[in-house]
Amino acid sequence: MQLDIALGLEDASMNFHLIDRDKVKVKLPEAALNRVKEAAEDKLTHVILPAEKALHIAFLGEAGNDPYTLEAHRKAGHEALSQIRHNKSVTIQIFDHMNDADAVGAFIEGLLLSDYHFEVLKSEPKGSDATVIRVKSSVFSAKALDEMVQLTYAVHWARDLVNLPLSHLTAEGFARAVATAGDRNGFSVEVFTKQKIESLKMGGLLAVNRGSIDPPTFTIAEWKPEKAVNKKPVVLVGKGVVYDTGGISLKPTANSMDFMKSDMAGAAMMAAVLDACARLKLPIHMMALIPATDNRPDGNAIVPGDVITMYDGTTVEVKNTDAEGRLILADALSYAKKFEPSLVIDAATLTGAAVRAIGTYGCCVMGTADDDIFEELNEAGYETYERNVRFPLWPEYEEELKSDVADMSNLGKGEGGQVSAAMFLKHFTDYPWMHIDIAGPSFMHSKNSYRGKGGTGTGVRLLVRFMKKHFDL
């Protein structure tokens, strides 16, 4: 991040005033105050105010902390950063006239999340000048601000991982990135090489990797603070397909294979969640399991009709090699049993069906965890505006996965494909489990407010909020 943000004031080249549109009572010059009142009556989101020595901008919020109002504040923060960059301002003051911690927090969050540039692969990155931001607020604490900054670092790291192409992030490269983060922020990392994966007979991960010249990895990251509130760990599992051609069931290039560097967004999300919890020193014992490989159609690649044996001994008929994510996740979900977890959550860009179901506006979730746990996830989703919709795991979807030649197949019907994919994963679990299909919101093809363009880091804020809610932190 280029922003240096803290509480306290100093001379500034630009001022922002956060004003409740229903209670316009601020100390501004009369002309400026009249402009604010007129803008409030017109329901404008912001107004540029007349000023002699500095640019003054008022963002007009609404009372209340419902999800849609707070999302409007995040978007206002994005607009604020756009104004900052446009005016090349280097010192900013934010005046909180609303005295609303949630409102000013959402505004700052939108501003911080917007401060992202992926230019590491450009020969002449443009970048931007560092900007000093000071916030005057009687209700937003320095601790809350620091936590928001640390969480933003984790979100930006997830975006970096997703935006890196295969030429710069193989499965081994991903594992190294997680290990580096562990060294930096105090969590342990163990990486299984191909030889170890073969000895464990992780048939799903090895099958997907058969068409690749690059070896697979299986990364185990663990955050285990001394005074953890949970005796049994929460295990996070992320799909780490660092590039997906579809295998022999080749994808079309346009609007499909051309952005399949993002097929490891679930792995990036889970690595970043663990990283964020370590940064925030949350007293939660957590683990992340990340099976990683690319999926290519080389001479030894699996083909439709092949039967493979998974880590737990289940035989699977591969009807479509582009349904590969569930194969590597299944091995990881089986492996998670050895840790006797209290809860397992997996995340994956798993199905186009999830996108067709709810678009890019949220995630599809399913699983066997208790209803109250799903409700906590739902609440966290609205609070972070990373919403999720729960779908049922009806027994009819299990029928779709029957095979004539193996224990099960890796493909159900096209209709409700996000559910049949989850039903496949369910077979490999025997613990409370939630599955999050992030195929829709994980990667944006055009700029989307503070989420930006490209990798969004979706799910990091969601699960950190969920963890704090679930463990009452």
Q: Which of 138, 159, 187 corresponds to the end of one domain?
A: 138
Q: Note down the domain range covering 256.
A: 150-470
Return the pLDDT at 55. 63
Please indicate, yes or no, whether residues 187 and 167 belong to a single structural domain of this protein: yes
Return the pLDDT at 58. 73
Please indicate, yes or no, whether residues 112 and 160 belong to a single structural domain of this protein: no
Which residue do the tokens 């997830």 mark? 158
Residue 338 is among the residues annotated as catalytic for this protein: no
214 lies in some domain = yes
Return the pLDDT at 251. 95
Please indicate, yes or no, whether residues 170 and 209 belong to a single structural domain of this protein: yes
Which residue do the tokens 């004031």 mark? 9
Residue 138 phi, psi (nearest 5): -85, -5
Q: List, run by run, the mean pLDDT of 10-residue segments along the chain (473 residues).
A: 77 80 77 83 77 68 84 92 82 84 92 92 78 87 94 98 98 98 97 98 98 98 97 98 97 91 98 98 98 96 98 98 98 98 98 96 98 98 98 96 98 94 98 98 96 97 98 97
419 lies in some domain = yes
Cα 313 to Cα 316: distance, rounded to the nearest angstrom: 9
Please indicate, yes or no, whether residues 300 and 186 belong to a single structural domain of this protein: yes
154 lies in some domain = yes
Cα 462 to Cα 188: distance, rounded to the nearest angstrom: 23
Looking up residue 101, the CATH number of its domain turns out to be 3.40.220.10
190 lies in some domain = yes
145 lies in some domain = no
Q: Which of 94, 115, 138 corresponds to the end of one domain?
A: 138
- Contact by Cβ (8 Å): 311, 200: yes
In single-letter form, the type of residue at position 318 comes to V
Please indicate, yes or no, whether residues 272 and 392 belong to a single structural domain of this protein: yes
Return the pLDDT at 312. 98
In the set 37, 251, 319, 356, the catalytic residue is: 251
Return the pLDDT at 11. 72
144 lies in some domain = no
| Number of domains within the chain | 2
Residue 326 is among the residues annotated as catalytic for this protein: yes
In the set 296, 326, 387, 426, the catalytic residue is: 326
Looking up residue 159, the CATH number of its domain turns out to be 3.40.630.10
Return the pLDDT at 50. 65
Return the pLDDT at 52. 61
Please indicate, yes or no, whether residues 256 and 358 belong to a single structural domain of this protein: yes
- Facing residues of 92 across strands? 14, 133
